[in-house]
Amino acid sequence: MILEICVDDVAGLEAAVRGGADRIELCAALSGGGVTPSAGFMQRAASCGLPVSVMIRPRAGDFVFTRDEADVMKRDIDAARAAGLSGLVLGASLADGSLDIALLEELRRHADGLDMTLHRAFDVVPNMDEALEAAIDLGFPRILTSGGARSALEGIEVLAHLSERAAGRIVIMPGAGVRPQSVQALLDRFPITEIHASCSAVPPYDPESRVAKLGFTGDGRKGTDEAAVRELKAILTAHHKGGVEL
């Protein structure tokens, strides 16, 4: 059972490692769904001792990318490779929400030799069964998805359907709102081999500080909670040892 923790700063990276994560998803600006982190952060993460997959997303918003944005994504793939990281997290859509197969194939070729996750661009597709087959044909090892819902728990029945349809051809990795108190329902509903979480919490915040008053931080900022990572990992380990088929 692989626990992937997404982080967007050095403190979060260190908390995830100490808490027992098996893999890191490296991002910036998780409050906006995550975008590509800096080259410096990639280089720092390379020494964390865990496999690291880098978010390749040039901006927040939709997943419909221009030619210039696609070129930036390829440069970011090059940066991840140069940093010595093992994987990428990416996706791209057409205007109707369906997967941009041509761009994804181009990015896949550019990323040859790196592990790849199809991110939650999958959650906006008009037909998930078709998108699942397309992801398999493109060679993605896994899909990060909430089942098209705001949280994996809300999308649990769709996730179960996708898992059954995938039939071992691709990993369905639940993500979005996965917490220690909610993960058991997912584990009990369908076989899971990899799961994604942020385990985030809101750190102490002083609205009267000068930093806050000048708009450099706010009460919406979150950080990785080491205790939540550790608790989630313990639940997954106990589930695995309990003999549930994975």
Pick the closest to residue 100 from 123, 72, 134 (CA basis): 134
Domain count, the chain: 1
Task: Tell whether 246 is covered by a domain.
Answer: no
Q: What is the pLDDT of residue 151?
A: 97
Neighbouring CB atoms inside 10 A of 70's CB total: 17
Residue 75: which domain range? 2-241
Task: Tell whether 9 is covered by a domain.
Answer: yes
Task: Kindly give the parts of the chain with pLDDT less than 70.
Answer: 203-221, 243-246
Neighbouring CB atoms inside 10 A of 98's CB total: 16
Task: Tell whether 161 is covered by a domain.
Answer: yes
Task: Tell whether 152 is covered by a domain.
Answer: yes
Q: E strand or H helix at 90, and its extent?
A: strand 87-90
Q: What is the pLDDT of residue 245?
A: 42
Neighbouring CB atoms inside 10 A of 62's CB total: 12
Q: What is the pLDDT of residue 222?
A: 76
Task: Tell whether 229 is covered by a domain.
Answer: yes
Task: Tell whether 65 is covered by a domain.
Answer: yes
- Assigned token pair, 221: 């900022």
Q: What is the pLDDT of residue 246?
A: 36
Q: Which CATH number goes with the domain that contains 30?
A: 3.20.20.380
d(CA 56, CA 59): 9
Task: Tell whether 158 is covered by a domain.
Answer: yes
Q: E strand or H helix at 133, and its extent?
A: helix 128-138
d(CA 146, CA 195): 11
d(CA 26, CA 76): 13
Please, are residues 17 and 7 in contact by the beta-carbon 8 Å criterion? no
How many Cα atoms sit within 13 Å of 134 on the Cβ side? 21
Task: Tell whether 117 is covered by a domain.
Answer: yes
Q: What is the pLDDT of residue 243?
A: 55
Q: What is the pLDDT of residue 241?
A: 80
* pTM of the full structure: 0.92
Q: What is the pLDDT of residue 119?
A: 97
CA 64-31-81 angle, 5° bins: 65
Q: What is the pLDDT of residue 212?
A: 64
Pick the closest to residue 198 from 29, 70, 57, 1 (CA basis): 29
